Structures are given as C-alpha cells and as structure tokens.
Homo-oligomer: A and B are copies of this chain.
C-alpha cells in the first residue's frame, strides 16, 4: 500500500478500534500471541534474509544481535503480548463527573489517542510490542521500521494482520510502511490530517530527525545523560553501590549513570574507594582536577583507567564502561550543573542531609529524581505500570516511563437537559 492509503485507512477504522471492549481486545492479543508462535518458522526464515543482508553490509555485531530472532525471542514476544492483555484497560474510565450550577453534568473520559505512528530502528521485537500497547488502548498503529529489518517486520505484521482478520477485527489496526526510504519517512511525519502522534524509538539521531522534520506532535523518548551526586553526608558504601549499579548493571540503556558529581569535602576519601570498585568492571573514569587527583592517589587504583575530563564529557551519553566525574562545592552547584547538562531523564542524590535531599528533589529538572537509589529504576515495570512504550524526556503529555495511560487522551462528556448559555 502507498503511504497515503495506509494513513487514510488508519483514520477510517480508528473509530471501530476505539470502541472495542476490553474482553475483545484481550482475546485478540492472546490470538496474536498464539499466531506468532504458530508461525515462528516463517518469521525466522524472513528474519534470516535480514541477517544475511546485514552481514553482507558489515553490520556491527551488536546490531546483528538486536536484529536476530530465535524461537526463544518469538516466545518472549508472545509472552509480552499476553502480559499486555493482563494489564488494566484505562479506556472509558470517567475520571471526574461534576454537576455545574446550571445543572450540566461534566465528566472527563479517557479515550484512545487515535492513530499513533511509531518510527524505530532495526529491532523487530518493537513491532509486536508497539502493536500490543497501541491495540490495548484502542489505538491504530502505523509502524515505520528500519530497512535493515524490513523482511522480519513484514513477516511479523502479516502474522498479526491475519490473526486480526480471523478474529473479525479490521486488519489495518496495525500497518507497516514497507517503503523505508527517507523521503517516505519525511512525508509520513507531516500526515497531520491522519496521524495524531508520533513516537520515535531509537537513538538520539533518530529522535532528533523526527523532532526536526515532523509537523505531527511528537513524544520524545529515551536519551539519558543521568547523574549521581554524592553529597558530603553520603554513606560511602551506599553511594558506591548505587554508582556501580547505575553505571554497570546494564551499560547500553538510557537510565544508566553517565556522570558523577562529588562534594569537595569528601572527594579525597571517596574517589579512591569508588575507583577500586569501578575498576573491577573496567570502568574508565574521566575526572576533573580534584576528583582526578583523588582517584590517582588511591592505593592499588588502575591509573590507566583514569583520564582527565574535558567540557565535552559533561554532555556525553557514553552508553559504555566510561563515567565522568566532577567535583562540586555544594548541592546548589550540583543542581545547576545537572540542570545545564542533563537530558531530563533520571538524576539521583546520595545524602543523609534532609534539606539537601528535598532541595535536590524540588529543583532538579528531570522526569525522575531520586534520593539514595540507583537511576536504573526508571522503567515501566519497576514503577509498577507494566510494559512501556518508552521513557519520555519531554514535559508535554507524558514524562518518564510511558505505560498504557500515556497512549490515551481525554474528552469531556456533558449531559444536559436543554441548557443554553445566557
């Protein structure tokens, strides 16, 4: 199908998908899960084409791994669909219903957003995942995946569409834009008449491109230059555990810690202890003057892992075994530094000081602000929302982990008895 046809089609059926009841939607999600497993061989065979292409094009190992499917990964996809089926359906709830002085009853009802566009890279698991979250919330989803995964995506979408058709649901509740050219992507991002919101899922480059080109409203997700500030009153063991966890528990994720701020009054004693633990995981430290000296002065530290930081380090999301460190003289200086260099994702203070904890919570501008905990908890499951479509780093509509509610809008419903405005 042509892009315009896909978009028109989506808009045409959006009303039908939006009014499906929860039982029907859950039943469909289970049927799709079954269909993915039943068609695993077909999906793997199509995935193989993408992998071969990738190898021929010298795709890096990490990307090939993300692209590769297996029976296990298809089982996980199916399990993801069943988990979404088990979540509460937010659609249809009326969050307040009040009687106005003129007798009008005004309520605010949760409704689907409508047509959601997801633009993503070569991760075929996003295909099933995005469908599940959008469908559960009564939305129609149009997927624009990367060219590297096109055969896998076509296979997965055709399996989902067949399952929808068999269940008597319009199969275009999910559609894939098969033309992966940049021109088509650019056109898609301007389809305001048909598409209500765009959600890019991928690296910083992809997100920037969507923000710059789209005229459709965009929800920005995912880049994280996260800091931990170790205050002078911090418990050292707690601080070291938190920094090591936030840096190394999983390095390639947006809520990993990339930068450390240390209070000047403890820098000499804290840095050598921290360094001993970081070097167990071969973490490179890029530090400013006092932090650099302190780390270097430690007994047994690996000096080859300690390097001077420059200005550029403060703004860098490494997604690697590297952490920057800066010495600050106060919680105030830490807050100013964070508000200047962060990406609005997750920030943490380790402290025993009540005033500093509250000040940090109040004044740091980010989606999630922690006291005495690892930044790695910013995640839909950890927050208790279940599956998430991404982590919003902007302030409009949704901020932080986006569960099902982030895929909804509201409308006012008004019950009258002939009221006119005086």
Q: Give chain A's interface residues, CB within 8 Å of chain B.
A: 14-15, 18-19, 98, 100, 104, 106, 111, 113-114, 192, 196-197, 211-212, 215, 217-219, 235, 238, 241-242, 244-246, 249, 335, 339, 361-363, 365-374, 376-378, 382-384, 394-397, 399-400, 409-421
Chain A at the B interface: SS class:
mixed
Q: In the complex the two chains form, what is the Cα distance from A411 to B368 in whole Å?
A: 6
**A112 (CB) vs chain B CBs: closest residue:** B395
Min Cβ gap A151→B in Å is: 33
Contact assessment for B418 and A238 in the assembled complex, using a CB-CB cutoff below 8 Å: yes
Chain B residues lying within 8 Å of A416, measured Cβ to Cβ, are 370-373
Contact assessment for A421 and B376 in the assembled complex, using a CB-CB cutoff below 8 Å: yes
The 7 closest A-B pairs by CB, nearest first: A373-B416, A245-B420, A395-B409, A376-B421, A397-B397, A238-B418, A372-B416
Known: A245-B421, A372-B418. A400 touches B396 (CB 8 A): no
Q: In the complex the two chains form, what is the Cα distance from A18 to B363 in whole Å?
A: 8
Contact assessment for A104 and B377 in the assembled complex, using a CB-CB cutoff below 8 Å: yes
Q: In the complex the two chains form, what is the Cα distance from A249 to B420 in whole Å?
A: 9
Contact assessment for A400 and B395 in the assembled complex, using a CB-CB cutoff below 8 Å: no
Known: A215-B212, A396-B217, A397-B396. A241 touches B421 (CB 8 A): no
Chain B residues lying within 8 Å of A249, measured Cβ to Cβ, are 420-421
Min Cβ gap A224→B in Å is: 14
Contact assessment for A369 and B414 in the assembled complex, using a CB-CB cutoff below 8 Å: yes
Partner of A409, one of B372, B396, B410: B396
Contact assessment for B211 and A362 in the assembled complex, using a CB-CB cutoff below 8 Å: no
Known: A113-B395, A242-B420, A245-B420. A370 touches B211 (CB 8 A): no
Contact assessment for A383 and B370 in the assembled complex, using a CB-CB cutoff below 8 Å: no
Chain B residues lying within 8 Å of A361, measured Cβ to Cβ, are 413
**A-B pairs with beta carbons under 8 Å apart, 28 shown:** A15-B339, A18-B363, A19-B362, A19-B363, A98-B384, A100-B383, A100-B384, A104-B373, A111-B365, A192-B211, A211-B215, A212-B215, A235-B418, A241-B420, A242-B420, A246-B420, A361-B413, A367-B412, A370-B416, A371-B414, A372-B416, A373-B417, A373-B419, A374-B420, A377-B419, A399-B411, A399-B412, A400-B410
Chain B residues lying within 8 Å of A362, measured Cβ to Cβ, are 19
Chain B residues lying within 8 Å of A420, measured Cβ to Cβ, are 241-242, 244-246, 249, 373-374, 376
Q: In the complex the two chains form, what is the Cα distance from A339 to B400 in whole Å?
A: 32
Min Cβ gap A365→B in Å is: 7
Chain B residues lying within 8 Å of A365, measured Cβ to Cβ, are 14-15, 111, 114, 411
Chain B residues lying within 8 Å of A218, measured Cβ to Cβ, are 217
Chain B residues lying within 8 Å of A212, measured Cβ to Cβ, are 215
Chain B residues lying within 8 Å of A367, measured Cβ to Cβ, are 411-412
Q: In the complex the two chains form, what is the Cα distance from A368 to B212 in whole Å?
A: 31
Contact assessment for B366 and A411 in the assembled complex, using a CB-CB cutoff below 8 Å: yes
Min Cβ gap A68→B in Å is: 26
Q: In the complex the two chains form, what is the Cα distance from A362 to B249 in whole Å?
A: 46
Chain B residues lying within 8 Å of A196, measured Cβ to Cβ, are 394-396
Which has the most chain B C-beta neighbours within 10 Å: A14, A238, A384, A409? A409
